[in-house]
Amino acid sequence: MENTMKEKIEFLTKEDYPLGSNRPDLLFTPREQAYNDLTLDAALKGEITGADLRISPKTLEMHANISESLGRTQLAKNFRRAAEMIKISDARILEIYNALRPNRSTKEELLAIADELEEEYEATENAELIREAANVYERRGRLKKNED
């Protein structure tokens, strides 16, 4: 079944959007609860948790595929980065955000963050973005100076 689901996800187009209306059969919470099972009755019975109200990485990947079918490759990359970030704590995301502000980090610090994202979270799209930012900051003189 997992292979069939993957095939369905790869061929999503604008006709499938919005997924909640047109393809609810493909939507699941991060705890694998079906989208159609998210009802007021289920919430009142305690069958739904806060985790069920968050978007899943699979749903973000489906949005990425729809975006690609429309030729919106940058939007697709954004959805994929968002999917990767779900594994990362909010506190760590905020730390990374602050580290990316101009003149806040050295190139080495940014590259270490990229390595962390790749190795600890398998967030390759985000790691690529951080490495690109480190190179751009270097060219534009926006890196923190080493304090020797």
Rounded to an integer, what is the distance from CA 3 to the centroid of its chain? 22
CB 102 within 8 A of CB 76: no
- Per-residue pLDDT tens over the stretch 25-77: 999 998 899 999 999 999 999 999 888 888 999 999 999 999 999 999 999 99
pLDDT digits over 74-105, tens only? Answer: 999 999 999 999 999 999 999 999 999 999 99
d(C-alpha 4, C-alpha 70), whole Å = 23
Position 61, amino acid: E
pLDDT score of 5: 53
φ/ψ of 28, rounded to 5, equals -140, 155
pLDDT of 117 strictly over 90: yes
- Separation between Cα atoms, residue 139 and residue 64, nearest integer Å: 31
